[in-house]
Amino acid sequence: MKVIAYCLGILTLFVFGPLAAKAFTVFEDSNYRLEAADDTNYTLVLYKGSETSLAIPDIYNSYHITAIGAKAFATNTTLTNVVISGSITNIGDSAFSNRTAIASVTFGTNVAGIDADAFRGCFSLKNIVLPDTLRTIGNRAFDQTGATNLHLGAGVTEIGEYAFRYSQIKNVVIPDSMTHIRYGLFQSCLSLTNVVLPDSIVDISSSAFEKTAIRSIVIPDSVTNIHGIAFSTCSFLTNVVLSSQITDIGLSSFSFCTNLERIVIPALVTNIGNSAFSYASSLKRIYFAGNAPHEEGNVFWNTHTNATVYYMPDTTGWSNTYAGLPAVLWNPHFTKLEIYTNIPGYLRATIAGTTNIPIAIESSTNLLHREWSGSMIGSIPPAGTQTFLINTTVGADRAYRIAPP
């Protein structure tokens, strides 16, 4: 049985029986439709106005608005600017999806959740600044927006799959409140050039950065797994520093990275997925810090014609080829480091090792933070030794090491 009472724009519906035990109240006028979430809080379930700029109020006609409901703005075609009040804590599924005229959204300081597809397809939305109170961002929440600038709040802990796919974001700093980079998170963000990952990240899912324009990526040592296609078709990528704790490199994870010339595979890696570096057509130097890992096939398919695998002394499982490439022992070592008397302020370093292996000498003034720079690049000639002159007059006291170029 249902009893309906209507008075002054307020509809109260009582439902009796096993399916419901309490009433909910609906307020509706020419601008808003509100539904009671509980005795004191209301959800904006439909915006009916025609304004171009809207500040969603904390309180409307004595009703306290604390949430924006699913598809609340689905019928609106006029809004270009939205200010979300400080009382709102959640923005529902598809609340503003495909509102292509919206160019600006100011988020209130208490928003904690943005649900799936909330701003999907807002092509004109250029600037996304999210509050520190935000904890969760749903799947595809900002998929296919026109956003060029993204500021993630310091408190966000979960961002769903494809959340920023196809956006125009240029730079991303992931906060240390996050632990996972989800599937396709920044896939096909063609303008994304710079990404900073914190030490809290433990996992990078498939297609997370596929088809982006990132130039360099440092994967922190907290990461233990890179899933398939994670960085595939990053055609501008030239520098990759892998986590020392990674054990598995997923299938096609760096395939079609056509400007990547070298990679160091950490010692703990035990498996490399099918086609992990296939069609990385500039890849020439692949250094392995540990034992020969299992490879699933076509790992270096269509890399550079002179691509070579280099492995370290005291490691096992190596032969003269690996995954179809020549494999060579990389064993450079200082045989002499002396003051060069012919030129004041210079050292002369003599290095020996396997013929033709590439070598570099790097220097550091900050060993604590492992900051190395200033490479001098060469190779070991047939004679078996190479000599470098090192200028010691530049900067502070320095440490020197031999590194793979």
At 29-55, the pLDDT tens digits run 999 999 998 889 999 999 999 999 999
Alpha carbon 283 to its chain's center = 23
**E strands of 186-305, at which residues?**
194-196, 203-204, 216-218, 225-226, 239-241, 248-249, 262-265, 271-272, 285-288, 294-295
In the structure, what pLDDT confidence band is assigned to residue 394 with cuts at 50, 70 and 90? Answer: low
Tokens of 218: 């440092």
Q: Kindly compute the dihedral angle of the four CA atoms of residues 260, 266, 268, 273, in this order, to the nearest 10 degrees.
A: 10
Inter-residue contact 43 to 66 (CB < 8 Å):
yes
Inter-residue contact 390 to 346 (CB < 8 Å):
yes
- For the chain, the domains span 333-403
| Confidence (pLDDT) at 384 | 84
Inter-residue contact 378 to 355 (CB < 8 Å):
no
Residue type (1 letter), 235: S
Q: What is the pLDDT of residues 142-170, one digit of tens each?
A: 999 999 999 999 999 999 999 999 999 99
CATH architecture designation of domain 333-403: Sandwich (2.60)
Inter-residue contact 207 to 187 (CB < 8 Å):
yes
| Confidence (pLDDT) at 256 | 98
Task: Note the pTM of the prediction, 2 decimals.
Answer: 0.89
Query: What percent of the chain clears pLDDT 70, i.e. is strictly above it?
Result: 92
In the structure, what pLDDT confidence band is assigned to residue 395 with cuts at 50, 70 and 90? Answer: low
Inter-residue contact 330 to 404 (CB < 8 Å):
yes
Task: Name which of 60, 59, 54 is nearest 83 in CA terms.
Answer: 54
Average pLDDT over residues 325-348: 90
Q: What is the pLDDT of residues 107-127, one digit of tens each?
A: 999 999 999 999 999 999 999
Measured between alpha carbons, how far is 213 from 64 in angstroms, rounded to an integer?
44
Measured between alpha carbons, how far is 164 from 138 in angstroms, rounded to an integer?
10
Average pLDDT over residues 164-180: 97
